Amino acid sequence: MIKKANILVVDDEEIVRLSYARSLASAHCQVEMVSNGQDALQVMGVRPFDVVLLDLLMPGMNGMAVLSTIKRRWPESEVIIITGYPALDTAKEAVSLGAYDYLAKPAGPDDVINATHSAMNHKRWTLRSDPVSSCAAMH
């Protein structure tokens, strides 16, 4: 049986969280949303997520610190950085910390769906375990 892909959206802007969740909503995808890094780590402690869509600039804990913690504690989770302030330096740092992908805002629905689908495929290939559905399967 194929289990639903669990996606966590971490962004301090509600409109952005809702937009990503709407883009990824399907019968094959379970999306949860939080507004900051501390909440992201708390909810990951309850249950890890397959893919995390993570903003870099948020109040409190910044995205790089969250990324580093996620990859250390839940290395099987794929993290996609989505930032309104893209820069080569932060892209390099994100990749070196283990980010799967790095997108610039505004990221359109297709960009979010394609990046998430690719991250899920990468995770499936890397783990070679039970199939996990892709959120893009319904699109």
Give the tens place of pLDDT for each residue, 103-120.
999 998 899 999 998 999
Q: Are 26 and 113 in contact (CB under 8 A)?
A: no
Q: Per-residue confidence at 139, pLDDT binned at 50, 70, 90? A: very low
pTM: 0.88
CA-wise closest residue to 96 among 116, 111, 81: 81
CA-wise closest residue to 98 among 121, 119, 124: 119
- 5-138 has which CATH code? 3.40.50.2300
Residue 43 neighbours by CB under 8 Å, 6+ apart = 8, 32, 34
- pLDDT of 138 higher than 50: no
Q: What is the pLDDT of residue 81?
A: 96
pLDDT digits (tens, 9 = 90+) for 89-101: 999 999 999 999 9
